[in-house]
A and B are shown apart, each in its own frame.
Chain A
Amino acid sequence: MEIVVNGKENIIQENMSLGDFLLGKGFLPKKVVVEHNGTIIANKHWYEIILSPQDRLEIVTFVGGG
């Protein structure tokens, strides 16, 4: 199924948890903040969210800035 990650389309398996998706991509809990359909999901809840088609994810991290 299709979800939107950082504005781009991603094809993933059905019934995948958010946690599985993120860890599958190599994202570590302490290094990113994730928004699922506009809501920030704390690390400890990553596995509780099961992704649905057209879900929107924003994955952000700290970078250099002034």
Chain B
Amino acid sequence: MEDLFTIGNTQLQSRLLIGTGKFSSNKDMPGAIEAAAAKIVTVALRRADSAYEAENILNYIPKTCILMPNTSGARTAEEAVRIAHMARAMGCGDWIKIEVISDNRYLLPDNQETIKATEILANEGFIVLPYMSPDLMSAKRLVDAGAAAVMPLGAPIGSNRGLQTIELLRILIDEIDLPIIVDAGIGRPSEAAAAMEMGAAGVLVNTAIATATDPATMAHAFNLAVQAGRSAYLAGLGRVMPSGAAASSPLTGFLRDGEVL
């Protein structure tokens, strides 16, 4: 049976999503994206004060990729919706990553505003991928609001601290019937593999690749890690409990002693 990765109505060949922020130079992007074999690439929207600034990052992103603008900068659902509209007006498609953050210390997302924005934008036909803090009830509301996937964080943006929220991620993967894409905090390929082994549908990596000494090689490493993790998951990894639990007196002795019907 084929292992298909589907978001909305789109089938994707890659479970590694890549961000384009923090690269030391736009010129590093094409190599990294290609090495990552990523299909979904995120971008942000910012004011262009001059034509030079609107140099167009799109020149550095392969045409075969799906562009996913994020609503970074938004602190409320209203702002996120406004940014989404502007992003759509660029004419590159309907995908949107909702990022609503009013915490400038850790950049933690505001689940409540994210849910509001998801509902509005999903109703307008956007393919919505909300970035959120892993909380089961919020994730459930995002499903009800029409999200196409749910993107819980592993650790704060840019922290490269791995799957700090692992218990909660596991619960979301088990309980939410949409693709769970771990987004933020993944600092090493092994952490991406770990997320995939748990059953995540995909991961989004930005800082770890963009700020690596050699972004293209790092991107390739992540590519392999995501594939490895996914294969391991499909091969039937189970979570194993620590053995050696203290055995007290036998509980089923009565079945042997007594009369068995």
Contact = CB atoms under 8 A, between A and B. Distances in A.
A–B interface present (Cβ within 8 A): yes
Interface string B37-56: 00000111111111111111
Interface stretch (B15-23, B118-126, B216-224, B233-241): B15-23
A60 B49 CA distance: 8
Contacts, number: 102
B58 interface: yes
Nearest to A23: B51
Interface stretch (A12-20, A32-40, A47-55): A32-40
Given A62-B43, A66-B206, A33 B51 contact: no
Q: How many of chain A's residues touch chain B, expressed as a range?
A: 20 to 34
A59 interface: yes
A60 B86 contact: yes
B19 A61 contact: no
A28 B56 CA distance: 10
B157 interface: yes
Contacts of B70: 65-66
Interface of A: 5-8, 25-28, 30-33, 35, 40, 42, 58-66
